[in-house]
Amino acid sequence: MSKKSVIRVQDAWKIYKLGEVEVPAIRGINIDIKEREFVSIIGKSGSGKSTCLNMVGCLDVPTKGKIYLDGKNIANLDEGELARIRGKKIGFIFQTFNLIPSLTTVENVMVPMIFQGYEPEERKKRAEILLRKVGLDHRLDHKPSELSGGERQRVAIARSLANDPEVILADEPTGNLDTKTGEQILALLQELHKKEGKTLIIVTHDDYIAKKAERIIELKDGLVVK
């Protein structure tokens, strides 16, 4: 039985205007990511990798072309509709963690649930469960400034799971970590893929991390070359 497509980018272009000049960052790419796949997206600086990340993560819409999320073309949705769908379907992990400094770890993990209608008690209970899952049950009331880089990334992983998304999208998830901590974070992401069946997309410039994936998508000059 063939797997369904979770995210499909069809002949997508992203063209930026610099005064009178049009600069195509993405030039007619086609990407099809299936449920429960582990895919890495690689490319050098200027390859269009960041723009591709925004397309695949439904953070941006194409200038022309289509993007399907669970079979629904989201290319023409407004930002409010896009945010609602994205919030349910995709969990994001960023290189710089993007935690809110004034909030505790529990409160940071609770934030995405606010926009999906969870009640306060349910948010707190679920956040605590997720933090225990990533090994941070002893850091529930700590703020980001009191955590190591690896611990902050674990909070970010727990937050990405807050709304039980089908897809986890990680942008250079080990980029700000030492080698040993990076290995631990990568192992945790692989476990989410293997044991919980999450579709895992890692955007990276690191060949070692890329080769851990089941499939590599390589970009160059705004085109998929491999």
At 179-222, the pLDDT tens digits run 888 888 889 889 889 888 899 999 988 888 889 999 999 998 88
Instruction: State the chain's maximal CA–CA distance in angstroms.
Output: 55
How confident is the model at residue 1, as a pLDDT? 59
Mean pLDDT of 98-124: 90
Phi, psi of 59 (to 5 degrees): -85, -15
Mean pLDDT of 107-136: 90
> What percent of the chain clears pLDDT 90, i.e. is strictly above it?
33
**Domains located in the chain, CATH noted:** 5-224 (3.40.50.300)
**Residue-averaged pLDDT of the chain:** 88
- Per-residue pLDDT tens for 62-72? 889 999 888 88
Strand 21-34 relative to strand 64-69: parallel, antiparallel, unpaired?
unpaired
Per DSSP, the three-state class of 148 is coil
Per DSSP, the three-state class of 9 is strand
Q: For the ranges 74-83, 134-143, 162-171, 210-219, which has the lowest average pLDDT?
A: 74-83
Q: Note the pTM of the prediction, 2 decimals.
A: 0.89
**Residue 193 · residue 34 · CB < 8 Å:** no
Q: For the ranges 3-17, 23-37, 67-81, 194-208, which has the lowest average pLDDT?
A: 67-81
Give Cα separations from 132 to 19, 109, 140, 200 (angstroms).
51, 12, 9, 21
Mean pLDDT of 137-163: 91
Give Cα separations from 120 to 89, 116, 129, 141, 153 (angstroms).
21, 11, 14, 16, 24
